[in-house]
Amino acid sequence: MKSYIDLCKVPLVDLGCRLVQKLIQGIHPFDGMSYISEERDRYYRRKSLDVRRTAEILRYAIFEAGIPVPQVDQDIPDLDRLHLSALTILM
Protein backbone atom coordinates (compact mmCIF):
# COMPACT_ATOMS: atom_id res chain seq x y z
CA MET A 1 0.00 0.00 0.00
CA LYS A 2 1.23 3.49 -0.83
CA SER A 3 2.16 5.90 1.92
CA TYR A 4 0.14 8.94 2.87
CA ILE A 5 2.67 11.22 1.16
CA ASP A 6 2.55 9.15 -2.05
CA LEU A 7 -1.27 9.25 -2.16
CA CYS A 8 -1.64 12.93 -1.40
CA LYS A 9 -2.08 15.21 -4.42
CA VAL A 10 -3.11 18.14 -2.25
CA PRO A 11 -0.44 20.59 -1.01
CA LEU A 12 0.91 19.77 2.45
CA VAL A 13 1.64 22.11 5.34
CA ASP A 14 4.21 21.40 8.05
CA LEU A 15 2.59 21.51 11.51
CA GLY A 16 5.80 21.13 13.46
CA CYS A 17 6.52 17.42 13.49
CA ARG A 18 3.92 16.32 10.95
CA LEU A 19 2.92 17.08 7.37
CA VAL A 20 -0.84 17.53 6.98
CA GLN A 21 -2.73 18.19 3.78
CA LYS A 22 -4.42 21.55 3.36
CA LEU A 23 -7.70 19.90 2.35
CA ILE A 24 -9.64 17.30 4.32
CA GLN A 25 -12.73 15.64 2.87
CA GLY A 26 -15.69 16.61 5.04
CA ILE A 27 -18.38 14.32 6.37
CA HIS A 28 -21.22 15.85 4.34
CA PRO A 29 -23.25 14.19 2.91
CA PHE A 30 -22.24 11.13 4.99
CA ASP A 31 -23.92 12.39 8.13
CA GLY A 32 -27.18 13.37 6.46
CA MET A 33 -26.81 17.06 7.19
CA SER A 34 -26.80 19.40 4.23
CA TYR A 35 -27.66 22.67 5.98
CA ILE A 36 -29.74 23.31 2.86
CA SER A 37 -33.14 21.74 3.50
CA GLU A 38 -34.85 18.81 5.24
CA GLU A 39 -35.50 17.28 1.83
CA ARG A 40 -31.79 17.37 0.98
CA ASP A 41 -30.97 15.92 4.42
CA ARG A 42 -33.32 12.98 3.78
CA TYR A 43 -31.73 12.45 0.35
CA TYR A 44 -28.24 12.39 1.90
CA ARG A 45 -29.34 9.97 4.63
CA ARG A 46 -30.81 7.55 2.07
CA LYS A 47 -27.59 7.60 0.04
CA SER A 48 -25.21 7.43 2.99
CA LEU A 49 -26.73 4.28 4.47
CA ASP A 50 -25.25 2.20 1.62
CA VAL A 51 -21.76 1.07 2.70
CA ARG A 52 -20.77 0.25 -0.89
CA ARG A 53 -21.63 3.77 -2.02
CA THR A 54 -19.68 5.25 0.89
CA ALA A 55 -16.71 3.00 0.09
CA GLU A 56 -16.79 4.15 -3.53
CA ILE A 57 -16.78 7.82 -2.50
CA LEU A 58 -13.86 7.22 -0.15
CA ARG A 59 -12.04 5.13 -2.80
CA TYR A 60 -12.34 7.96 -5.30
CA ALA A 61 -11.27 10.60 -2.77
CA ILE A 62 -8.24 8.63 -1.60
CA PHE A 63 -6.96 6.94 -4.75
CA GLU A 64 -8.05 9.25 -7.56
CA ALA A 65 -8.47 12.72 -6.09
CA GLY A 66 -5.54 12.24 -3.72
CA ILE A 67 -7.37 13.32 -0.55
CA PRO A 68 -6.25 10.58 1.85
CA VAL A 69 -7.62 12.21 5.03
CA PRO A 70 -11.40 12.09 5.37
CA GLN A 71 -13.21 13.63 8.32
CA VAL A 72 -15.45 11.13 10.08
CA ASP A 73 -18.23 11.66 12.58
CA GLN A 74 -17.42 11.05 16.20
CA ASP A 75 -20.88 11.43 17.75
CA ILE A 76 -23.06 9.08 15.72
CA PRO A 77 -22.13 5.40 16.30
CA ASP A 78 -24.02 4.17 13.22
CA LEU A 79 -22.00 6.48 10.99
CA ASP A 80 -18.77 5.48 12.74
CA ARG A 81 -19.54 1.83 11.90
CA LEU A 82 -20.47 2.80 8.33
CA HIS A 83 -17.16 4.63 7.79
CA LEU A 84 -15.10 1.83 9.34
CA SER A 85 -16.92 -0.76 7.23
CA ALA A 86 -16.37 1.31 4.08
CA LEU A 87 -12.65 1.69 4.84
CA THR A 88 -12.40 -2.05 5.52
CA ILE A 89 -13.87 -2.72 2.06
CA LEU A 90 -11.13 -0.54 0.55
CA MET A 91 -8.34 -2.45 2.27
Q: What is the pLDDT of residues 62-72, one digit of tens each?
A: 888 888 777 76
Q: What is the pLDDT of residues 33-63, one digit of tens each?
A: 788 899 988 888 787 778 888 888 888 888 8
Q: What per-residue confidence (pLDDT) applies to 76?
A: 73
In the three-class reduction of DSSP (H, G, I as helix; E, B as strand; rest coil), residue 89 is classed as helix
Smallest CA-to-CA distance from 24 within 72, 57, 60, 70 is with: 70
Structural domain including 45 reads 4-90
In the chain, % of residues over pLDDT 90: 3
Determine contact, residues 12/21, Cβ cutoff 8 Å. yes
Q: What is the pLDDT of residues 10-29, one digit of tens each?
A: 888 888 888 777 777 777 76
- When divided into structural domains, the chain yields a total of 1
